[in-house]
Structure 1
Amino acid sequence: MSKSRARGFLAAGAAASAAVGALALTGYSPNAEGSGEIVLRVVPGTTQSASGPDSVQARHVKAQATSASALTAADFATVDGAVDASVIPNMTLIIGDADGILHVHTKGNFDPNAATDLASGSKWLFAAMAIRMVQAGKANLGDHPQQYLTFWTTNPSDNRRTMTLDHLMSMRSGFNAGPLAGGCVSNGLLYTLQSCAQTIHNQGVDTAPGAAFSYGPHHMQVAAAMLEKAGNKSFNSLFAEYLTTPLGMTKTKYTKASAANPWIAGGAQSSAYDYAKMLQAFLGTSFITDMDDFTGARTIGLPRPYVPGDGDGHGTWQYAIGSFVECDDTPPAGQPARPCATAKINSSPGANGWLGWIDREHGYYGLIATRVLLSGSTKAVTLEQQLQPLILDALNP
């Protein structure tokens, strides 16, 4: 559907919603250049205010593509009840599939249209941008930093020369400092993205590239510096070109530490409806063309100098490119194994509780959009794990 046609539907929607249903977000639609837009369609039996698709509180369609019968709000009653009973006071839950939003539930005082700090939820945004640049031929996952960064060592005996973009994007580069050791990544006054990457380089690696999985901010800062040179534009220009503009994400951008030195692993903001557009695109086939590689575990069997602990819910999970693979090859007694080599659920929890995930086996995405100042990641991961089986029940009433 063209943008003009979508706007026409919107203009008529407020007046006609009682009779014919309202407009709702549907799929990522690629155009001839490989970018795309979020389009709209009429869905019978739903409601919408006159202020546009971001005001939609819920849309219900049958999850199975072969069925035309509609889900109802009652199908999600147990899901909504779990949200309302959770310790998170203010949040929006969005559930959707490759065609659009299936259900929205807001608890307390949270605005799903407002730009919200993502913390580590930022990582998936950058990962999507990076892979889109790889798809466009601007870089390769096997590229080395010294191909783009003039300050990078070229000493044949220095193992920093063996580091690849893949290592950096999957937290295996050897820069093993944890999230609290941010250093230059959170300093927007004294550093640019390039000078911060040089500072990280000069500090040296803790383990050989590829030899350990350690969750921290330095890997992606260096990866972004590489891509900035590969794309021959500022990071923020590339972020818009390869991610936010194609998906119509108007409220998503990096706000920390500064425009000159974006905090790649934790400095972005987005709205719930914006972030959902990316999760929806992940379930399609056009935006990321090799989702198996993008979401596949890269850290199985590696030592883990620092990974968020069991209290955060992902102490055993593996890592892909910018997201955790929700899996456990050796679960506690009485719990089923979720083999990491074949797991189909990926997520990117943030310290403030923002948590998006995709379930590629069952074809849906979920988003817990919130801002919790204390133990947000723990609370969100706990709720997410509780919701996953309830969502499957709701999608198959």
Structure 2
Amino acid sequence: MKSAFYILLISLSSFVVFSNCNKSVSKDKNAQSLLLAGIAGSCFTIDSCFDQYVKTTDEGASFQVYDQSGNKIYARQSVLDYNTYRPIASGSKWVTAITAMRAIDCNTSSVTFANCGTVTTNTCVTGGALSLSRTTGDILGWTGTKGTITLRQLLSFTSGLNAGGGNGSGQVSCISTLPVGATGTQKDSCVNEIRDQSTGTPGALYQYNSNHMAVAQRMLEVSCGKTWDTIFTQLIVNPLGWDASQAVWRGNYRTAEVTDGSLSGAFGLSISPEHYARMLNALLTNGTAKNSSGANIANFLSTTSVTEILADQYNGAKIGYSQFSAFGYRWQYGLGNWRFCTTTDIPAECDRDLISHSIGINGFFPWLDKNRNYMAILAVNNIGRKNGLSLLPASSTSLFFAETVRPLIHLQIGR
């Protein structure tokens, strides 16, 4: 296992979430030696692995594991508290996908879903009832081939929308520079810029970048006649008991600049791991989330929505850019989350050793194991001050930690 992950760690040297993330980092030689020792060495308990890992972090870390009922069965923290809100980078993608599926569920007429606010039956109907099959042509008025892009393709990065017209993982600059309270006209101008610079064929190209989710968010806004902030607050923040003053979206989480984050669904959220777990519980338990008191929120998601979020959504698309395509683990993608397994060429084999996750460039790493019925959240906010190995971004060290402790978790839960 470790030898395979040497390849993984080197391959992840190119892992960036959007184009302006390339920056030099200071190199703390002591941290480097600690990190290298952690990679080359061994640990035999979750505690010792965590203690070894946390020495390389900028602000400390926390780690929590939950059983099939959403009960916490392991927790350890160092400096960074379970309830501390920090940016989660691409951990935001899972939140955006779940918000979209909540909007779809709440807009249906067959079942009453929990805590929908004003996003209720037949309220998201511009261009037709909201669904994963609704297109940019239906809702945004796009024409031609780009008007055939579906919400499903946007949330799975198979919409053919390029990053800056190229093959990287970047985004158009307007996503991170929208002023606070941006108007619909300003948002439309931004997503139209994405449309006009893109050359991929919808459904035929997978490319990991932030542009897809910006367009998806705008589709939700127009379909439901509400701002992203209103949709997110009513469908996620209020029922889960998140802190509305801290659970905010920013166009650029790396700076103190306050911008409108309503198109930053791929990377822009700040949240605590304790609160994130309340949402993730819905994927673990096929639809039941947790509120602020730990009580169940039944029908938070439909079982169909859970299945769609976690399913392989490639549907034959060619991989144009994926930070994981350079090595043996050719990971698949769902709606807003990666599907990781070691044998992707044989679906049945993949499904037996599968975790779903939404890792962030800063190392934030939530994952879900439906086979063994548990979930875990490694919370960390490494932006390169201490974790100064230029070949090993924070995401790769978190991945290595997770792969090291997963067998230990399996022993503890007996599965």
- Render the CA deviation track for 1:141-184: whole Å, top value 9, x for unaligned: 0001122214x22xxxx211221000001000001323334422
- Counterpart residue number, 2:249: 254
Higher Rg: 1
Matched-pair contact (CA < 8 Å) for 2:249–2:262: no
Cα distance change on mapping 1:119 and 1:391 into 2, 3 Å = same
Q: Which amino acid aligns with 1:180?
A: G
Secondary structure at 2:207 match in 1: coil
* CA-CA distance at 1:342 after TM superposition: 6.3
- Render the CA deviation track for 1:312-363: whole Å, top value 9, x for unaligned: x8961110000001124358xxxx9984466642100000000111111111
Cα distance change on mapping 1:343 and 1:236 into 2, 3 Å = farther
Cα distance change on mapping 1:340 and 1:170 into 2, 3 Å = farther
Bigger relative CO (Cα 8 Å, ≥ 6 apart): 2
Matched-pair contact (CA < 8 Å) for 1:92–1:112: yes
- Counterpart residue number, 2:151: 165
TM-score (norm 2): 0.69
Secondary structure at 1:254 match in 2: coil
Matched-pair contact (CA < 8 Å) for 1:94–1:276: no
Cα distance change on mapping 1:343 and 1:302 into 2, 3 Å = farther
- Counterpart residue number, 1:8: none
Find the partner of 2:364 among 351, 354, 358: 354
Matched-pair contact (CA < 8 Å) for 1:353–1:379: yes
- Render the CA deviation track for 1:349-383: whole Å, top value 9, x for unaligned: 00000011111111111001001113111111111
- Counterpart residue number, 2:383: 373
Secondary structure at 1:148 match in 2: helix
Greater mean alpha carbon deviation, residues 176-185 or residues 361-370:
176-185
Greater mean alpha carbon deviation, residues 320-329 or residues 255-264:
255-264
User: Does residue 196 of structure 2 align to residue 202 of structure 1?
Assistant: yes
User: Does residue 97 of structure 2 align to residue 127 of structure 1?
Assistant: yes
Find the partner of 1:78 among 45, 61, 71: 45
Secondary structure at 1:297 match in 2: coil
Q: What pairs up with 1:332-351 in 2 under 5 angstroms?
A: 339-340=349-350, 344-351=354-361
Size of the aligned set, in residue pairs, is: 310
- Counterpart residue number, 2:271: 270
- Counterpart residue number, 2:220: 227
Matched-pair contact (CA < 8 Å) for 2:217–2:262: no
Cα distance change on mapping 1:77 and 1:327 into 2, 3 Å = closer
Cα distance change on mapping 1:328 and 1:80 into 2, 3 Å = same
User: Does residue 125 of structure 2 align to residue 112 of structure 1?
Assistant: no
* CA-CA distance at 1:197 after TM superposition: 1.1
**Take 2:64 and 2:99, find their aligned partners in 1: how far apart are those partners?**
22
User: Does residue 63 of structure 2 align to residue 93 of structure 1?
Assistant: yes
- Render the CA deviation track for 1:281-301: whole Å, top value 9, x for unaligned: 221233222222220011264
Matched-pair contact (CA < 8 Å) for 2:89–2:360: yes
Find the partner of 1:294 among 299, 304, 309: 309
Q: Which amino acid aligns with 1:304?
A: I
**Take 2:131 and 2:347, find their aligned partners in 1: how far apart are those partners?**
34
Find the partner of 2:374 among 364, 368, 388: 364
- Counterpart residue number, 1:193: 187
TM-score (norm 1): 0.72
Q: Which amino acid aligns with 2:77?
A: T
Coordinate RMSD, CA, aligned: 2.6
Secondary structure at 2:75 match in 1: strand
Secondary structure at 2:81 match in 1: coil
**Take 2:83 and 2:365, find their aligned partners in 1: how far apart are those partners?**
16
- Counterpart residue number, 2:332: 318
Matched-pair contact (CA < 8 Å) for 2:250–2:261: no
Q: Which amino acid aligns with 1:83?
A: F
**Take 1:338 and 1:112, find their aligned partners in 2: how far apart are those partners?**
36
**Take 1:315 and 1:172, find their aligned partners in 2: how far apart are those partners?**
19
Secondary structure at 1:206 match in 2: coil
Cα distance change on mapping 1:164 and 1:359 into 2, 3 Å = same
Cα distance change on mapping 1:245 and 1:223 into 2, 3 Å = same
Cα distance change on mapping 1:176 and 1:365 into 2, 3 Å = same
**Take 1:343 and 1:206, find their aligned partners in 2: how far apart are those partners?**
35
* CA-CA distance at 1:386 after TM superposition: 1.6
Secondary structure at 1:253 match in 2: coil
Q: Which runs of 5+ in 1 are unaligned?
A: 1-75
Secondary structure at 1:321 match in 2: coil
* CA-CA distance at 1:232 after TM superposition: 0.9
- Render the CA deviation track for 1:109-154: whole Å, top value 9, x for unaligned: 212222101111110111110001111223100001122214x22x
Secondary structure at 1:304 match in 2: strand
Cα distance change on mapping 1:236 and 1:161 into 2, 3 Å = same
Matched-pair contact (CA < 8 Å) for 2:352–2:371: no
**Take 1:322 and 1:339, find their aligned partners in 2: how far apart are those partners?**
22
Cα distance change on mapping 1:142 and 1:104 into 2, 3 Å = same
Q: Which runs of 5+ in 2 are unaligned?
A: 1-42, 108-123, 125-129, 253-258, 288-298, 385-392
Cα distance change on mapping 1:299 and 1:370 into 2, 3 Å = same
